[in-house]
Amino acid sequence: TDGIGYATARHLARLGMRVIIAGNNTGKAQEAVRQIQEETLNDKVEFLYCDLASLKSIRQFVQTFKKKKIPLHVLVNNAGVMMVPQRRTRDGFEEHFGLNYLGHFLLTNLLLDTMKESGSPGCCARVLTVSSATHYIAELDMEDLQGSRSYSPHGAYAQSKLALVLFTYHLQRLLAAQGSPVTANVVDPGVVNTDLYRHVFWGMRLIKKLFSWWFFKTPDEGAWTSVYAAVTPDLEGIGGRYLYNEKETKSLAVTYDLDLQRELWARSCQMTGITDVTPDTFSG
């Protein structure tokens, strides 16, 4: 409903796509829909409630969406919190890990069947997950994913963004092994001037205020790699890529660790209550 997500929705609506904005602030979402419709002259923009900090809400959203019986060609996993004080989601997960990562993990898995039906050879459906350069300095503590022993807002945020990269790579391996007409890529928007910085320490906020015009991208600029990944013919049938400034680049070395990808995926399935199809998919 704001920042990169709003800019991405507006760009896609301008291209004539049907856009559904999922968010947990009904008032802001309805205003976002109105503004986008007015600016783009595209009346195929709507809002559906979804709180990514609640597994129940995600499941309800998916049920509501599927009742519409419409195709899903592009899923943009964009929502998130950044460097918030230590707190928990409704399901008891540390908020960065629960909302930024597990929420998108569950949402994507519950929508995969619709995406597989929507895609076709030569016109794959696409999962785009927004990570961050912060993942380059992150560590994934498989023994303490919730930061129970020692909590760092920056460390928790970075870990959630690292988890999104690992998730995307494993998802792409599963999709490819299944022969699915769906691809999964990671998008790095760069350093963008959005409200996410409201929880960082005062010195960083001051620097942002003074020099945002120089160091920071605008939300429109930050959204462009997401839009590129959603529509460019250059990525047809191509997944498992980390994209920055519309170009493929290397993510942190550990993100290519297949065992770590598989371990995180299995643990995430347990946390969200879904079946892990990895053993059956790679049983051969």
Residue 207 reports pLDDT greater than 70: no
pLDDT at position 208, please?
Answer: 42
For position 24, what pLDDT does the model report? Answer: 94
Cα–Cα distance for residue pair 92/96, rounded to 1 Å: 12
The confidence band for 199, taking pLDDT boundaries of 50, 70 and 90, is very low
Asked if residue 123 has pLDDT above 50, the reply is yes
Q: Give the whole-angstrom CA distance, residue 93 versus residue 86.
A: 10
Confidence tier at 206 by pLDDT (50, 70, 90): very low
Q: Is the pLDDT of residue 280 over 70?
A: yes
pLDDT of residue 170: 98
Residue of 130 and 195 predicted with greater confidence: 130
Across the range 127-151, mean pLDDT stands at 94
Which residues, listed in sequence order, are joined to residue 126 by a DSSP beta bridge?
74, 183
Options 6, 101, 157, 197, the catalytic residue: 157
For the chain, give the mean pLDDT: 91
pLDDT at 4 over 80: yes
Q: Phi and psi for 55 in degrees, rounded to 5?
A: -60, -35
CATH numbers and ranges of domains, the chain = 72-272 (3.40.50.720)
Band of pLDDT at residue 168, cut at 50, 70 and 90: very high
pLDDT at 27 over 50: yes
pLDDT at 214 over 80: no
Active site residue 157: yes
Mean pLDDT calculated for residue range 34-55: 97
Is the pLDDT at 217 greater than 80? The verdict is no
Q: Which residues of 73-108 are buried (b: 16+ CB within 10 A; e: fewer)?
A: bbbbbbbbbbbbeeeebeeebbbbbbbbbbbbbbbb
Q: Which two tokens stand for residue 47?
A: 């809002």
Q: How many residues does the chain have?
A: 284
